[in-house]
Chain A
Amino acid sequence: MTGTGKLIRLILRRDRFLLPLWVLVIGLLPSAYISSFEGLFPTDPERLQYAQVSADNAGFVALYGLLHGDSFAVLTNWRSGFVPVMIGLFALLTVVRHTRTDEEAGRTELIGATVVGRQAQLAAALLTTAVAGLVLGLVTFAVMAGPSGSVSGSLAFGAEFAASAWIFAAVAAITTQLTSSARTARSIAIVALGAAYALRVGGDISALGDGNLSWLSWVSPLGWVTHIFPYGAVNWWPVVLAVLFSAAATGVAVVLLGRRDLGAGLLAARLGRATAAPSLRSPLALAWRLHRGLMIGWTVGLALLGLIFGGVGGSVVDLAKDNKSLTDIFARLGGSTQLVDSYFAGTAGMVGLIAACYAVQATLRLRDEEQTGHAEAILATAASRYAWAGSHLLFSLIGPALALFAEGLVAGLVYPGGDLADILAGTMLQLPAVWVLAAVAVLLFGLLPRWSLVAWAAPAICLLVLLVGETLQLDQRLLDVSPFTHVPRLPGGEVTMTPLVTLTLLAMLLTAAGLGGLRRRNIPD
């Protein structure tokens, strides 16, 4: 553990912008929610009606969790139900970045040769992330204690956020011990986060219906933290559970760390082929080798999401049948099928955004390849820059299409009463918007390569528009920034070609500009 303090200072120096940014933005998010709720529902009946409808809406429950109560504070906490996923993601990325990424790059070796203990690096990364989570929780506590009128409730709210960071920091501590590659460590941790989310959704949706599977929420750490209910019953013991889990997972990580060599992973490397298959002879064949794992992973992941969303669709109809007030509301809007329609159209938008993350990730592989020196090796052969970049871009084009298709198909198939063609089409319509986000990444990569990672801001902005846009009643011009705002909503809506064609043309234009820049610039830059 010697040298942990110095390493913490190093992490704080390297993350001096990023870390305060996410801690503050996420920590302050609940105060934005509560003030927007106060603006939206000035009278009690309006608020109560919103709470009542939301509590039984399976789509909302899937996204935010269960709603027990109707005060502003309860609504704010419930509306923040997706935030633990974001906190978990940031926490695990931070831990992987300061452990395995450094180790893979050889920086750990450099530091390990100085007076630094064997566990110091892991300890520094975990401590920094844990304290960041704690500060985030304190920020939320500070901004909520006043408006909510409940100090203990706000404390529990802050604890919910802090615990989310601790849990997934500890999960990442384990996954970084498993393989020698940072990318694999990150992927395993993100899959764990996704699984936790899926289990939480499954359990909560079941709790809305017959409750047979509601125990699923308790298998998921994300289920624990969203079952604290800070301004209602206030369950403290999920917090205890989260702390115990984090401590245990950290212990496992330390044991694993002690059992492996520097640079190695626990999953041993096997011997492979001595010669290449005859087909491995073009940039495209290489790109397929580099992208196939990602493509299969995302397709399976989105198919599972389709299973959840499609399955939930059934309970939406059941609810509408059983729930008097809900039926009334949607009858006024035009009948119960519209409830299901708007549910599937809404989930299609979310799925589109998730597919866009895949598209950006696949596109940024180009930058990865450039920075690792792989691009130099390929471009010094008879492969042209266009052939190299194009073969990767083919996968950011068709990969998300395949993943979206899998989600739409599965969701349509498992939902008994729906129109498969409409549900599938509603999902596939997201594709032009997905391509626009991929094209933004191409543009940055070609023209401002050192700013390539800024491409992640595009899906982040779209997520923000999706999550807070309507609640905060943002100006339409701000909502229009997200290409997903322009996608026709299906099922239920009317499909117009203009936005689809415009988005596709925009994507083509941005890609062409990016490739033009790539042709002219230095490699590596």
Chain B
Amino acid sequence: MTEAIDAEGLIKRFGKVTALDGLDLTVRTGEVHGFLGPNGAGKTTTIRILLGLMRHDGGRARLLGGDPWAEATKLHRRLAYVPGDVTLWPSLTGGEVIDLLGRLRGGLDPKRRAELLERFELDPRKNGRTYSKGNRQKVALIAALASDVELLILDEPTSGLDPLMEEVFREVILQEKRRGDRTVLLSSHILAEVEALCDRLTIIRDGRAVETGTLADLRHLTRTTIQAELAGPPDGLATLAGVHDLRTENGRVHFDVDTDALEPALRTLVQVGVRSLVSQPPSLEELFLRQYQRVGSDR
């Protein structure tokens, strides 16, 4: 089995609202997979379907080779989940919650537990209601990371952590990655985190996967920004497929070009005659912003 999570054409409706509209998601065993999308895109709904908490209305979902709805209890022994909004029982201490959740999953490594408590600087003796959001998240993270499981499903696990703790989280996940026997599905908004940790990623928007692949694949999808001083007018450039936002200021042309169209665009420039040229390499940030922004502008 090479795929820890395999979802195809997932559909989920809440009354008239369609939360997932044919979502595809494939997470290979052993990889850290980034799961990105604007708020309300359907990340948490997807995760809840994968956990058997909600039933999908259409499509197909496999989790660790099983049916996430029918075999939920059996499959849950092999995974750990950190919800996006962690709430703890007010009358239980953080340490008790860590132990309880670990035992309910089928076991906890006490050495790892102690190590994580120290690295995340968490006092496990406090009552649930006295922890801040970040500390509640640490409790759920430690319970998940100290469990002996194959798959970690983390829903925006660092959204309440301070930058120092975010760094600790990154180190811990990289450590997990080096062990090589764990798969991680990481939903996140933080680009640097995704770039540092993920092998592959999926971007979703309006309940559908809009991009998926390795970081290199996605970089390929981004555009290069070019400014050039030319010998003559940029004839033919405007009609070239893959050239965007072309404009001329003080005899300099500015445009963005898709990676695929880079070569024909440069050839056109050379034909006109190039006096100077500045090119900016594609950035993931620009890709994300473009994908995120389309939510509003497309519809």
Bound: A468/B81 CA distance, A: 52
User: Does A420 sit within 8 A of B, measured CB to CB?
Assistant: no
Q: Name which residue of chain A comes closest to B124, CB basis.
A: A274
Return the contact of B51 from the options A270, A276, A380 (Cβ within 8 A).
A380
Q: How far is the CB of B87 from chain A (nearest CB, A)?
A: 4
Q: How far is the CB of B70 from chain A (nearest CB, A)?
A: 11
Q: Which of A354-381 contact B (CB under 8 A)?
A: 372-374, 376-381
Known contacts A274-B95, A377-B83: A382-B104 contact under CB 8 Å: yes
Q: When the two chains form their complex, are residues B76 and A382 in contact, meaning their CB atoms are under 8 A apart?
A: yes
User: Does A448 sit within 8 A of B, measured CB to CB?
Assistant: no
- Listed stretches B20-28, B125-133, B199-207, B263-271; interface member: B125-133
User: Does B166 sit within 8 A of A, measured CB to CB?
Assistant: no
User: Does B106 sit within 8 A of A, measured CB to CB?
Assistant: yes
Bound: A383/B51 CA distance, A: 12
User: Does A282 sit within 8 A of B, measured CB to CB?
Assistant: yes
User: Does B77 sit within 8 A of A, measured CB to CB?
Assistant: yes
Q: Which chain B positions have C-beta within 8 A of A520?
A: 55
Q: When the two chains form their complex, are residues B93 and A272 in contact, meaning their CB atoms are under 8 A apart?
A: yes
Q: When the two chains form their complex, are residues A273 and B100 in contact, meaning their CB atoms are under 8 A apart?
A: no
Q: How far is the CB of A150 from chain B (nearest CB, A)?
A: 51
Known contacts A181-B90, A269-B129: A276-B83 contact under CB 8 Å: no
User: Does B54 sit within 8 A of A, measured CB to CB?
Assistant: yes
The 3 closest A-B pairs by CB, nearest first: A276-B99, A381-B104, A272-B93
- Listed stretches A6-14, A34-42, A283-291; interface member: A283-291
Q: How far is the CB of B76 from chain A (nearest CB, A)?
A: 5
Return the contact of B125 from the options A181, A273, A290, A293 (Cβ within 8 A).
A273
Q: Give 22 pairs: A residue, B residue, CB < 8 Å, sorted on A.
A: A180-B130, A271-B125, A273-B93, A273-B96, A274-B93, A274-B95, A274-B124, A276-B100, A276-B103, A281-B104, A283-B104, A373-B86, A378-B104, A379-B72, A381-B104, A381-B105, A382-B74, A382-B104, A382-B106, A384-B72, A522-B53, A523-B53
Q: When the two chains form their complex, are residues B96 and A276 in contact, meaning their CB atoms are under 8 A apart?
A: yes
User: Does B148 sit within 8 A of A, measured CB to CB?
Assistant: no
Q: Name which residue of chain A comes closest to B103, CB basis.
A: A281
Bound: A233/B236 CA distance, A: 104
Bound: A283/B97 CA distance, A: 12
Interface string of B142-159 (1 = CB under 8 A from A): 000000000001000000
Q: When the two chains form their complex, are residues A289 and B92 in contact, meaning their CB atoms are under 8 A apart?
A: yes
Return the contact of B124 from the options A275, A283, A372 (Cβ within 8 A).
A275
Bound: A269/B91 CA distance, A: 10
Return the contact of A269 from the options B52, B72, B130 (Cβ within 8 A).
B130
User: Does A280 sit within 8 A of B, measured CB to CB?
Assistant: yes
Q: Which chain A positions have C-beta within 8 A of B86?
A: 373, 377
Q: When the two chains form their complex, are residues B53 and A272 in contact, meaning their CB atoms are under 8 A apart?
A: no
Bound: A523/B103 CA distance, A: 22
Bound: A524/B14 CA distance, A: 12
Most buried by A among B51, B55, B90, B124: B90
Interface string of B37-64 (1 = CB under 8 A from A): 0000000000010011111000000000
Bound: A114/B100 CA distance, A: 40
Q: How far is the CB of B102 from chain A (nearest CB, A)?
A: 9
Bound: A153/B54 CA distance, A: 60
Residues of chain A whose beta carbon lies under 8 Å from any beta carbon of chain B = 180-181, 269-277, 280-283, 285-286, 289-290, 293, 372-374, 376-384, 520, 522-524
Return the contact of B76 from the options A269, A289, A373, A381 (Cβ within 8 A).
A381
Most buried by B among A181, A270, A376, A377: A377
Q: How far is the CB of A378 from chain B (nearest CB, A)?
A: 7
Q: How far is the CB of B5 from chain A (nearest CB, A)?
A: 15
Bound: A457/B279 CA distance, A: 71
Q: How far is the CB of B147 from chain A (nearest CB, A)?
A: 9
Most buried by B among A282, A293, A374: A374
Most buried by B among A274, A374, A381, A520: A381
Q: How far is the CB of B98 from chain A (nearest CB, A)?
A: 8
Q: Which chain A positions have C-beta within 8 A of B51?
A: 379-380
Q: How far is the CB of B168 from chain A (nearest CB, A)?
A: 20
Q: Which chain B positions have C-beta within 8 A of A275?
A: 95-96, 99, 124
Contacts A379-B51, A382-B105 given; 20 further ones with Cβ under 8 A? A180-B130, A272-B126, A274-B95, A276-B97, A276-B98, A280-B96, A281-B99, A281-B103, A282-B104, A289-B91, A290-B91, A373-B86, A377-B101, A378-B104, A379-B53, A380-B53, A382-B77, A382-B104, A383-B76, A523-B53
Q: How far is the CB of A364 from chain B (nearest CB, A)?
A: 16
Bound: A110/B91 CA distance, A: 25
Return the contact of B127 from the options A272, A289, A377 (Cβ within 8 A).
A272
Known contacts A269-B130, A273-B96, A280-B96: A373-B105 contact under CB 8 Å: no
Bound: A274/B96 CA distance, A: 7
Q: When the two chains form their complex, are residues B95 and A374 in contact, meaning their CB atoms are under 8 A apart?
A: no
Q: Which chain A positions have C-beta within 8 A of B79?
A: 380
Q: When the two chains form their complex, are residues A180 and B93 in contact, meaning their CB atoms are under 8 A apart?
A: no
Q: Name which residue of chain B comes closest to A183, CB basis.
A: B90
Bound: A383/B76 CA distance, A: 8
Q: Which chain A positions have C-beta within 8 A of B104?
A: 281-283, 378, 381-383
Q: When the two chains form their complex, are residues B95 and A273 in contact, meaning their CB atoms are under 8 A apart?
A: yes
User: Does B140 sit within 8 A of A, measured CB to CB?
Assistant: yes
